[in-house]
Structure 1
Amino acid sequence: MSLFVAPQTFGQDSFFPIWGDEAEKRGYTLPKPYGFSLSYMDMSNPITVNSINLTGHPVLEALDVDAKQADFSGSNITLRGDVWIFPFLNVYGILGYTQGTSKAKINSVSCDSSGFGILDSNRYLCSLIDRLGDNLPDNTMFELDMDGGTYGVGTTLAGGVGNWFALVDMNYTYTSISAIDGNIKTFVAAPRVGHRWEYDGGRELRVFVGAMYQDVQQYLSGDLKSLGLPSALDKIIDELAPDGKFEVSQSSDEKWNGVVGFQYAFNRDWEVLAEAGFGPRETLFFAASRRF
């Protein structure tokens, strides 16, 4: 999330932002150049399951699992450090931790027995699975826990006329999953427009609306037993392939959602921000910032 224009003018005593003196001579007000913020985000997002591959046994490798949609819910807490390089350009780094869960309903399971010989016992097991795979219990799901460290970089382009402002915030983050082998790669671009009100003592309120584009790519792998399958299926896996593995590729289903929020500056040093996202992807975002 970006930081907008600050409420008071100051004599520049730092190398950054470059061209800061020139901007102030033209009547622009600038924020202090350096900042740290602590933020929390809660998110719920539909996910498309692109592929599910199973290994560890010939029958597993012949399976086709129909589970096209998943629901991701999670949260993250991040620490961000930033600097205004130019009056209109901010760059920042992100370090944090993400907790999330992806749940997908398994609609059916089919098995291609054509690759097994007529006398191969795997052929009959595969045929049996194929016959039973359309009658799975309604609660047959696979669940993935996706907790891990997150880090990334980003930039903000900002400008304004009078008390109106506009900005575009872009960042790329990488989350390394700790419980299973995998990662989450996320690119976010968020344009916003808003209005600001100044008050005595350097206080300032900014209200904004906008949109968020989010492209999420998830690559996950691990033991079949870590999928959170029903106990009956776990028993079958224990007998069939105790060392069975899975590979899952998922991506964000809906890339755009709307956002609305506000930012309140207590003075030139401290400010808080709250934002809500609405649409297919729902988000809540809170941040507290300190500038130097």
Structure 2
Amino acid sequence: MMERLALASLIGIALWASPAAQAQGPATPGPETPGPEISADDRQASACPPEMANDCPRTAPAPERDRLFPLGGRAAIARGYRIPEPWGIGALMVWTNTNFNSRDLSVAVRKGGAPSADAPLAPLPAVTTNRLEGDNRMLGLKGDLWLFPGVNLFASIGKVKGTNQIDIDVDLDAVIPFPFCRPAKPCGTIRLPVETRVNNTTVTLGTILVYGNEHWFVLGSAAKTVSISSKERSDVESTNIGLRGGPRFQLAENTYFAPYMGANYFDLDTTVKGLVESPAVFEDGDSVHLRYKVDMSASHPWAAVAGFNVELNRHLSFQAEIQAGAESTRILASAGVRF
């Protein structure tokens, strides 16, 4: 079910501008391979013929851009590393289909009318869950900062919409008293399909650690997401931990293509509650009303990851990824700007 705003933030930000992954090696000449020192006057003279020396404009060399972040960036530049623009903003879209495990199912069952809102809910062996599935789509915005070369901090906010599908099986003979259900004429078991709408706002905070060089990279990520429903249901808390790596191919001076693979662990917990009514199931035309509350968690939190990132230049990038688990699928796409 989620609301996997964390995931897109983790990968897209890191691949957009990893300082470690974009190391270019020492310049030539550079701090590690010094060449002959040339004064500004000598450079100016070499650009003008001697007969036009008096008419040549004299301009000072362009100063290096002064910026605070990433901390330690000047030292990295002096060692020959290509440092990204420190700030980033972007947009992302995530589609998620996930199966869940249920626990702590508690219900109140009543014939012919809904249990009151304050009715006590209790676990009943005769009431069980069957299918538990979430299908959601998320649109969000994210921002990030390279605090140190190779250390990124990010935050994101998004809107998730979709549905949770839950099938609840009720043994009527165990929960409806005599004479409505009796051995001579059992009521049997009915299945109540529950569909809850998801309309959540998600907030994510996380960090990324990156290491690599001009030809390859590896990154680890961790994030915490809180997703709150306006109707006090389907609230979600999740912890995301991922590891990804792959090669980098330089297509132009500032254009890179980076396919990657990895693994992702997504620990998710959500609570769903509501009221559902069955069709008429008794001789007198009454139906069964069920007030329920159930806690759910991802049935298989591990997933394999495959994706790619394209850096169009130092300021623009695009990323896409698919995660495939035993009982879950997630597809994401994001685009961002650095400045």
Percent identity of the aligned residues?
23
What does the per-residue CA deviation read over 1:190-247, in whole Å, with 9 as the maximum and x for residues that have no partner?
110111112324111111111111111001233x14xxx54447xx9x8776xx7422
Q: Which has a greater percent of helix?
A: 1
Pair 1:128–1:257, CA change in 2 (3 A): farther
Comparing 196-205 with 42-51, greater Cα deviation is found at: 196-205
Pair 1:36–1:132, CA change in 2 (3 A): same
Give the match for residue 132 of structure 1. Answer: 187
Is contact 2:301–2:325 with CA below 8 Å preserved after alignment? no
Give the match for residue 117 of structure 1. Answer: none
What does the per-residue CA deviation read over 1:124-156, in whole Å, with 9 as the maximum and x for residues that have no partner?
379659x5343x25xx42222222111121111
Gaps of 5+ in 2: 1-10, 25-62, 109-114
Give the match for residue 27 of structure 1. Answer: 80
Distance 1:60 1:97 in 2: 31
Give the match for residue 249 of structure 2. Answer: 197
Q: Does 1:273 align with 2:319?
A: yes
Pair 1:266–1:99, CA change in 2 (3 A): same
Deviation at 1:171? 1.2
Distance 2:64 2:338 in 1: 15
Is contact 1:82–1:90 with CA below 8 Å preserved after alignment? yes
> What secondary structure sits across from 1:181 in the alignment?
coil
Pair 1:43–1:182, CA change in 2 (3 A): closer
Pair 1:125–1:69, CA change in 2 (3 A): farther
Q: Does 1:48 align with 2:101?
A: yes
Q: Does 1:250 align with 2:296?
A: yes
Q: CA RMSD in A?
A: 3.1
Comparing 89-98 with 278-287, greater Cα deviation is found at: 278-287
> What secondary structure sits across from 2:135 in the alignment?
strand
State the one-letter code of the partner of 2:132: A
Q: Does 1:159 align with 2:214?
A: no
Is contact 1:71–1:102 with CA below 8 Å preserved after alignment? yes
> What secondary structure sits across from 2:14 in the alignment?
coil
Distance 1:125 1:217 in 2: 41
Counterparts of 1:115-264 in structure 2 under 5 Å? 123-124=177-178, 131-134=186-189, 136=190, 140-222=192-274, 224-225=275-276, 230-232=278-280, 245-264=291-310
What does the per-residue CA deviation read over 1:11-60, in whole Å, with 9 as the maximum and x for residues that have no partner?
55221111111122222222111000100000111111113212437897
What does the per-residue CA deviation read over 1:96-136, in whole Å, with 9 as the maximum and x for residues that have no partner?
101131212234436767xxxxxxxx74379659x5343x2
Deviation at 1:283? 1.1
What TM-score, normalized to structure 1?
Answer: 0.82
Determine which structure has more spread, i.e. the larger CA radius of gyration: 2
Deviation at 1:160? 0.5
Is contact 1:59–1:126 with CA below 8 Å preserved after alignment? no
Q: Does 1:285 align with 2:338?
A: no
The count of aligned residue pairs is 273
Comparing 61-70 with 213-222, greater Cα deviation is found at: 61-70
Give the match for residue 88 of structure 1. Answer: 150
Gaps of 5+ in 1: 114-121
Distance 2:313 2:182 in 1: 70
